[in-house]
Chain A
C-alpha cells in the first residue's frame, strides 16, 4: 500500500470504526447518537470534561470495548458517552441519575460497580461469608488443639527455655 493510501486509511479509521459498531450494537447507540445531534449546538465537537464527568465516565464500562471504561476507551461511542455525561452534568443532573440513565439503556453490565440490590448482594456478601467461614475454621482448629494439647507436652521452665534458646541461633542451628 502506498504511503498516501495508508495515511488516508489512518484518517478514516474513526469512520470505519463507527459504522462497524453500529451493526453490532444495541438501540442505545442510536439514542446516544441522536442525543449528541440534538445537543450539537450546545456540545462542541469536543468539550473538555470536568473532573466529575471523568469520574462518572470511569464508573461506566465502554459497551463496545474489552475491559475498558468509558473514560479510557478511544472508541467513538465512548467519546459520545463522555460528551453526554458532561452535558447532563451541565444541565444539573446528579451522578446517580446519569448512571441510572446509562444502566437503563445498556443494562446493568454498563456499570463497573454492580448495584447493591437483588441478587447482586450475593456478589457483595460472598467475600464476607468466605472470610467468616475461614475465621470459623481457624477458631475450630484452635479449639480442637486446645482440647487435645492440654497435658501432652511437658511444660518447660522459662529459665530452661531461655538457656536453650541462648545456645541456639535464631534458625535453630547449633552455634
Chain B
C-alpha cells in the first residue's frame, strides 16, 4: 500500500513536470497535440494525487502502523471519525490534502473552461502544475506521508489531544481547501498577465473560483471560531492568535477583490489594483503557511511546526518575483477604460471599501509580524495580543459597517444628493432610535455607536431587498413570496451579496455584545456551594469521573439558575487522553439561556471535589452562529447558476490592449 502511495506521488511529480514542459513548448511552437497532452497530464496528476490520498486514508482506517505518519497520528482506540480525520492532522497529510484539492479543482477548472477560455489555458495549466510540482517535491523529498518505520509498533501514539474534537472534522478541511482553491484564480490571473488578455473574460473565468476559495476560507474561519469557543476556554471565539490572523489576511484581501472586481466588470477600471489584490491574496496564503510551518510565532497552533519552512520561503519568493514582475511588465496595457467621475458614486464606495479592507489586513499583518521585527532589529521579544487588534481593527470595522449601509445606496458614476437623502430616511431614523435607546440602557458609548451603525446598515440592506421585490411586483404580477424568491434567484449576485452583508451584520450584533458586555467570575466551590454572576446563580454539583475508549474524563456538573428559576444543567469536561496525560484538553459547558450563553470552565480541582470554576456570561453570541448560517445561504445564492448574458459570449479578447494601442 505504502509503495502504491509514494509511487503515485513520484509519478504525479514526473507527469506534472512533463505537463509544464509540454504546455510551454505546445504554446510556443503552436503544437495543439502537445497542449492537449499537457491538459491530459493535468487530469492525470489530479488522479494520481487522489490515489495517494485514498491510499493514505485507507492506511489510517486499517491501522497500518508500518507508516510512520499513521503511527504518529492515530491509535487503535480512537473513534473512527478521528482516525479518518487524522490524515490531515499532521504536516504531510495536510500538504497532500492541499495538493489534492489544488490539482483536483485545477483539473475541474481546466475541464469547465476548455472551450470558453482557450487562450488562457496553456499558461493557466503551467502555473497550476508549477504550484502542484512544488507541493509534490515537498511531499516526495522532505515530508512524505508514506515513510515506513524500521520496526512496526503494535499501536500508534494517537492524535494530538487538541485535535480530537468535532471541530477537527470541518475546520482544517475547509480552511486548507480555501487556501488550496486560491490556486485556480491565481493561475488564471497569471495566464491573463502572460497572454495580455486583460479584458473582462479572465475576470468572468475567475470570479466564481475566487468566490469558492473565499467562501471555503470564510467557513473554515467560522468553524475555527466555534471550535475555539467551546474548547479553548477563554470565553471567546477569536483570540487574535497569529495563525488565525494569517488565515484571516487572505480572506480580507479576497473580500476586497470580490468587491473591486465588480467595478472592473461594470466600468473597466482598477485593473492593476485587482491583479495586485489577487496576487496579494495568493502570496498571503503562502506566507501564512510559511509562518505556521516554520514556527516563528508563538501560537495555539504550535503542533503544526515543522522543518519545511524554508521550502515555503523559497516558494513565496518565487511567487512574489514572478507575480510582481509580470504585473510590472504588463502595466502599460492595464490602463482604465473609463475614468472615475465622482467620489460619491458606487465606484467611490467600492474604492473606500477596498481602502478599509486593505487597511485592516495591513494592521493585522503589522501586528502579527511585528514580534519578528522587534526581535530582529531591537532584540526584544514581545507579544502583540488582542488589545492591539481590538483598538486598531475595531474602528476600521465600524467605518466598514457604516459603508456597508451607505454603499448600496450610491449610484454608479455619480449620486444625486436628494435621492440619496430620501433613501437614507429610514436607516438614519433606525440608527437614531437605536442610539437613543442605547444611551439610556447601555453604559458603553462605543457599543451604542456600533449598534446604531449596525442598525443603519441592517435597515439599508432590508430596504434594498424590499425595493427589489416591490419593483418586481410592479412589473410582473406575482404573489409576494414568489416575487421575493424570484428577485433572489434572478439577481443572485446582487441579493446574494446582500445576504452576506446581512450575515456579517448579524455577526456584528453578537461580536459587539460579547466584547462590550461579557461578564466573568471565578469561583472556588465545594460540591453543593453556589456563586452568582449577573442575573445568574450557579450551583456546583460535584465532579464525575468517566472513561471513554481513549480517554479519562473529569466532568464538573453545574446547575444554572436565572434568578430563582432553574434554567439548565451543564457539564464542563477535562479530557486526559492516553499517551497525552500531561496535555489535558477541555470542552466547555455552554448553555443558552434566553439570549445569553452561560459558559462554564472547569479550571482545577482537588481530591475532595473542591473545584475552581470560571463562569462567563456571553450575551448574544448565538447571533454569530446564526450569522454563520446566513453566510452559508448567501454564498450558496451567489453560486446559483446564472445564464451568461448574450453579450458576454462575444469574443472580447484584447479589448484592454487594443484600446490603449
Contact = CB atoms under 8 A, between A and B. Distances in A.
Contacts of A36: none
B340 A127 contact: no
Interface string B453-485: 000000000000000100100010000000000
A170 B299 CA distance: 47
A138 B494 CA distance: 26
Contacts, number: 161
Contact of B340 (A6, A49, A141): A141
A59 B390 CA distance: 13
B383 A111 contact: yes
A6 B384 contact: no
B342 to A, nearest CB: 9
A82 B657 CA distance: 65
Contacts of A20: 582
Given A9-B581, A54-B522, A149-B340, A119 B378 contact: yes
A46 B522 CA distance: 11
B57 to A, nearest CB: 29
A114 B380 CA distance: 11
B336 to A, nearest CB: 9
A13 B576 contact: yes
B536 interface: no
Contact of B300 (A45, A47, A67, A169): A67
Contacts of B471: 170
Given A108-B380, A119-B374, A145-B340, A130 B366 contact: yes
Contacts of A126: 363, 366, 370
B511 to A, nearest CB: 18
Contacts of B383: 61, 109-112, 114
Contact of A120 (B266, B382, B521, B547): B382
A135 interface: yes
A6 B298 contact: no
B645 interface: yes
A33 interface: no
Contacts of A58: 234
A154 interface: no
A124 B234 CA distance: 25
B14 interface: no
Interface string A112-150: 111000011011101100110011001001100100110
Interface stretch (B211-219, B306-314, B433-441, B604-612): B604-612
A171 B491 contact: yes
Interface residues of B, number: 71
B341 A149 contact: yes
A148 B339 contact: yes
B385 A61 contact: yes
B339 A152 contact: yes
B26 interface: no
Contacts of A105: none
B300 A17 contact: no
B362 interface: yes
Contacts of B522: 48-49, 54
B253 interface: no
A129 B447 CA distance: 26
Nearest to A174: B645
A72 B234 contact: yes
Interface stretch (B319-327, B351-359, B555-563, B623-631): B351-359
Contacts of B610: 46
Interface of A: 1, 3, 6-7, 9-10, 13, 16-17, 20, 45-49, 51, 54, 58-59, 61, 66-69, 71-72, 74, 79, 107-114, 119-120, 122-124, 126-127, 130-131, 134-135, 138, 141-142, 145, 148-149, 152-153, 158, 169-173, 175
5 contacts: A46-B604, A51-B520, A108-B381, A122-B373, A153-B339
